[in-house]
Chains A and B, each alone.
Chain A
Amino acid sequence: MYVLEMRGISKQFPGVKALDDAQLFLRPGTVHALMGENGAGKSTLMKCLFGIYRKDSGEILLDGKTVAFESPRQALDSGVSMVHQELNQVLERSVLDNIWLGRLPIKGIVVDDVRMLSETNSVFKKLQIHVNPQKKIGALSVSERQMVEIAKAVSCNARIIVLDEPTSSLTENEVEHLFTIIRTLKKEGVAVIYISHKMEEILAIADEVTVMRDGKWIATEKSGDLTKDRIISLMVGRDLAKLYPPKTNKPSDEVVLSVRDLSGTYQPSINDVSFDLFKGEILGVSGLVGSRRTELVETIFGLRKKRKGEIHVGGKRITRHFPRASIASGLGLVTEERRATGIFPLLNIQFNAMIANIDAYARFGVMRYKRAAKDTQWVIDALSVKTPSQKAAIANLSGGNQQKVILGRWLLTSPKVLLLDEPTRGIDVGAKFEIYQLMIDLANKGNSVLFISSEMPELLGVADRILVMSNGRMAGIVDAAKTSQEEILKLAAMYI
């Protein structure tokens, strides 16, 4: 009946319960969508299946037999393959080597390059992928790399294929192409687990939908019985009307941040981007993966060099273009990768909160901790950070609370403009709401926010206008109240 059953799966990480009694039942020859907001536990559940993580409890049955994969090797040998969200590829090696990694065919003691090439060509032909298999994978575009990963999973002749956010870097045409591939696989009896949070895709391709929230199983239903609204309310677990706080901020017509013809030095990067951000405004930034949204804010902030262009903050032209000077002129940047470039994981909350504003707490280079402690307490109270004390290591907090500390870090520098790069990624629904509220409160107080997000509903719900990036260029700015997801997607594909 089921090719895969996962029951009562739990998994604890330091400071967060990633999976709590989660379950999933997969029928052969079907597409099963796994849905939930960022941080709902979808990827973690799949990593437990694939042997990357060890589950703390629960059981996994493949064809009715209990399995407990201890490594991806064992999962692959049992016919489970997975396309990872983070595109795990060896960039310095060829497409061929990457596709066959872990199962290189040999002839005697020599790797059989001829067979690799011919089999790869036939897989590419079957899937209509037009990529030279002998090219270095690092030289491909993100969407080509994505398609290569999918081809790799298909070429394993797996019975279960997990696709983790496979469309995050694909244009509409490429998504259609992927769907054709998935339908072919279905006919061959392959079961596909499809992780996404894009409603239209799910309703178009999935047979069944399982929704997760905060690491828990919420529901499994036939996709024909579902509507967008129903899925959203299952995913967020509260009334649609209360998903986003009321938009009370009123943008003025005073320009706070003006960017003209901004281009990055080291291409691929942004090219000729111009826009204005008004006082009290929340400007969303949308685009596909690889559209250089992150490069946009990092170039504005001076973390990346600009080849040309002008940046004005509060009417003053930025002449010294590096982070320290940007902070002084009133910019703040919450980076995308909280773990890699946001937190100092082993250091305490106080250090993490004060570090961007450290000059204010030092006298002749000697720290004065009293004021730092007072300000940290303000961060904890104002953003309702849940922590036992200021001295707790930030790594022990949940993702949402870590993010609040990082936001607090920038509020302490009293910025005119906050640049937020995917600020709600990997945090729970409640914390998301609080961060939206905080953004609106800031805008109400006359600050301005530039807000990058991959989740379109959140842009539509929180932003005043949305700037759409496409392949490093600005495709347009739309009014959030009047636009639609379709219009934004069309703009996002403009320069591809």
Chain B
Amino acid sequence: MANDNRKAADTKAKLSAFLIKNALYLVMLILLGIIVMISPNFLRLQNFYFIVTQSSSRIILALGVASIIVLGYTDLSLGRSVGMAAIISSSLLQAVNYSQRIFPKLPQLPIFVPILAVMALCALFMVAQGLVVSKLKVAPFIASLGFQLVIYGLQSLYIDEFNDSSPIGGFDPKFSRFAQGAIEFDNFRIPYLILYALAAAIIVWFIWNKTKLGRNMYAIGGNVEAATVSGVNVVANILIIYVIAGLMYGFGGALEGARTGSVTNMLGQGYELDAIAACVVGGVSMRGGVGTVVGVVTGVLMFQIINYGLVFIGVNPYVQYIVKGMIIILAVAIDSQKYIKRK
């Protein structure tokens, strides 16, 4: 009798665990259903092509910050890092015949030079931030809040000094093609953007699942005490993860600059929140130690589908904010249910 009771309770627990695990996907599906009902055109392949293309740089950035979240930390400096990378790379990659060139005497640089330079610069800032959080034990929320202000200040000084705070434009066509180009077949084209995102996903997947660094990252996020007594060099691993995140911010920033075609120092603002939200929606726990690459990619795509869909059916932009905000809260609430210690 008692056993039956327990079995029933078990089944109930399993069902609610399943619902909790998938509630978010369910809500997203319902939203998608509503969008499709209002406008069946939404299901055309064309739209999904746009969505995937638009998601690409977001996937790269979300994967960058995801490693930090798996460590059990967070990073609010993502958006401003992206802005800094975009400003610096685009300022160095204006076409030589463009009349308002910021550095008129600068020769035509091969595009990989400025791109690698901004990746290195972002990585440098992330090393500093990594040291502050792991050595000085500053809460990552505060440390990254401080760093994003510093970065924003520096990039604003840069743009004021050299470009009188007007937007940076007139790019080298090669730089524009870097983000806007595609591999063309007869009647089908694969944008470079998608390939970059795919490459980033594969690299990050490899790091998370196949390398020592990845295993250590999960261990540090899951139980830093256990990692320490097992002899893991916690600080070194944190720093490497931060460097990788920085490299991805730098690359994503250059990409965003080239994609938008005209860069102001507002570029990147709020990107960190979109990236973190996508991670959480994709099942990366803010408590650390849990998360998958597939989850992060799915999170970004789902977010983008809803975003694009709401625009598609003409929902008031302010209402879109409300819907997005509620999805984020729901995502974190569900995440908390999974890991809460039930008493």
Query: Are B9 and A307 within 8 A (Cβ)?
Result: yes
B188-214 interface code vs A (CB 8 A; 1 in, 0 out): 000000000000000000000011101
Question: Which residue in A82, A89, A103, A305 is a CB contact (below 8 Å) of B226?
Answer: A89
Q: Mark B213-226, 1 if CB is under 8 A from A, else 0.
A: 01110110011011
**When chains A and B are docked, how far (Å) is the Cα of A110 from the Cα of B213?**
10
A-binding segment of B85-93, B104-112, B228-236: B228-236
Closest-by-CB residue of A relative to B6 is A267
For A236-269 the 0/1 string (1 means CB < 8 A from B) is 0000000000000000000000000000011100
Say yes or no: is B227 at the interface (Cβ < 8 Å to chain A).
yes
Interface residue SS majority, chain A: loop
Q: Mark A63-106, 1 if CB is under 8 A from B, else 0.
A: 00000000111001100001010001111110001100111101
A110, B211: Cβ atoms closer than 8 Å: yes
A273–B289 CA distance with the chains assembled, in angstroms = 36
Q: Once the chains are docked, how many angstroms separate the CA of A125 from the CA of B186?
A: 60
Q: With A91-B223, A266-B343, A267-B9 in contact, do A272 and B229 touch (Cβ < 8 Å)?
A: no
- Contact status A101-B230, CB under 8 Å: yes
- Do residues B2 and A271 form an inter-chain contact, with CB atoms below 8 A? yes
Q: Are A88 and B226 closer than 8 Å at their CB atoms?
A: yes
Chain A: which residue is nearest B10 at the CB level? A267
Partner of A76, one of B223, B225, B231: B231
**Nearest CB of chain A from residue B107's CB, rounded to whole Å:** 37
Known: A92-B290, A271-B2. A102 touches B227 (CB 8 A): yes
**Chain B residues with CB below 8 A from A410, complex form:** none
A3 at the interface (CB under 8 A from B): no
Cβ of A304 to closest chain B Cβ, rounded Å: 4
User: Closest residue of chain B to A106, judged by CB?
Assistant: B212
A50 interface contact, C-beta 8 A: yes
Any B CB within 8 A of the CB of A281: no
Cα separation A491 to B6 with both chains bound (whole Å): 23
CB contacts (< 8 Å) of A393 on chain B: these are: none
User: How long is the Cα–Cα vector from A97 to B218 in the complex, in angstroms?
Assistant: 10
Q: Which residues 309-343 of B sit at the A interface, judged by CB distance below 8 A?
A: 342-343
How many residues on the A side are at the interface (Cβ–Cβ under 8 A)?
35
Asked if A52 is at the interface of the complex by the 8 Å CB criterion, the answer is yes
Most buried by A among B2, B223, B227, B229: B229
For residue A298, CB closer than 8 A to chain B, the reply is yes
Given contacts A104-B212, A104-B215, contact A98 B226 (CB under 8 A): yes
Q: How far is the CA of A272 from the CA of B2 in the complex (A)?
A: 9
A306-328 interface with B by 8 A CB criterion:
307
Cα distance A110–B110 when bound, in Å? Answer: 33
Answer yes or no: A111 CB below 8 A from chain B CBs: yes
Contact assessment for A50 and B229 in the assembled complex, using a CB-CB cutoff below 8 Å: yes
- Nearest Cβ on chain B to A326's Cβ, whole angstroms: 14
- Contact check, B343 vs A73: say whether CB atoms are below 8 A apart: no
Asked if A72 and B228 sit within 8 Å, CB to CB, the answer is yes
Q: Contact at A88–B223, with CB atoms within 8 Å?
A: yes
A109 within 8 A of B: yes
Residue contact A101 to B232, C-beta cutoff 8 Å: yes
User: Is A101 in contact with B233, judged by CB distance below 8 angstroms?
Assistant: no
- The 8 Å CB contact of A101, one of B211, B226, B343, is B226
Q: Report chain A residues within 8 Å CB of B219.
A: 90, 93, 97, 101
A82 touches B229 (CB 8 A): yes
B289 CB to closest chain A CB (Å) equals 5
CB distance B9 to A103 under 8 Å?
Answer: no
Of chain B, the residue at the smallest CB distance from A101 is B230
Picked from A88, A98, A303, the residue with its CB within 8 Å of the CB of B225 is A88
Instruction: Using known A-B contacts A90-B222, A92-B222, A110-B210, determine if residue A72 contacts B230 with beta carbons closer than 8 Å.
Output: yes
Q: Which residue of A lies closest to B232 (CB)?
A: A102
Indicate whether A111 sits within 8 Å of B212 (C-beta atoms), given known contacts A93-B219, A272-B2, A305-B343. Answer: yes
Residues of B within 8 A of A265 (CB): 342
Residue in B211, B216, B229 whose beta carbon sits within 8 Å of that of A72 in the complex: B229
B343 touches A72 (CB 8 A): no
Q: What distance in Å separates the Cβ of A373 from its nearest Cβ neighbour in chain B?
A: 34
Contacts of B215 in A (CB 8 A): 93, 97, 101, 104, 111
Listed residue (B9, B210, B212) with the most chain A CB atoms within 10 angstroms of its CB:
B212
Interchain CA distance A111-B213 in the complex, whole Å: 9
Q: How far is the CA of A91 from the CA of B225 in the complex (A)?
A: 12
Query: Least Cβ distance of B113 to chain A in Å?
Result: 27
Separation in Å of the B330 CB from the closest CB of chain A? Answer: 22
> Which residues of chain B are near A76, meaning CB under 8 Å?
230-231
**A102 surroundings in chain B (CB, below 8 A):** 227, 230-232
Q: Would you give 18 A-B contacts (Cβ < 8 Å), ordered by A?
A: A52-B228, A73-B231, A76-B231, A77-B231, A88-B230, A89-B223, A90-B222, A90-B223, A90-B227, A91-B222, A92-B290, A104-B215, A104-B216, A109-B210, A111-B212, A271-B6, A298-B343, A305-B343
Q: Known pairs A88-B226, A98-B230; list 5 more (Cβ under 8 Å).
A: A72-B230, A101-B216, A102-B230, A102-B231, A298-B343
Interface residues of A (CB under 8 A from B): 50, 52, 71-73, 76-77, 82, 84, 88-93, 97-98, 101-104, 106, 109-111, 265-267, 271-272, 298, 303-305, 307
Which B residues fall within an 8 A CB radius of A? 2, 6, 9-10, 13, 210-212, 214-216, 218-219, 222-223, 225-233, 289-290, 342-343
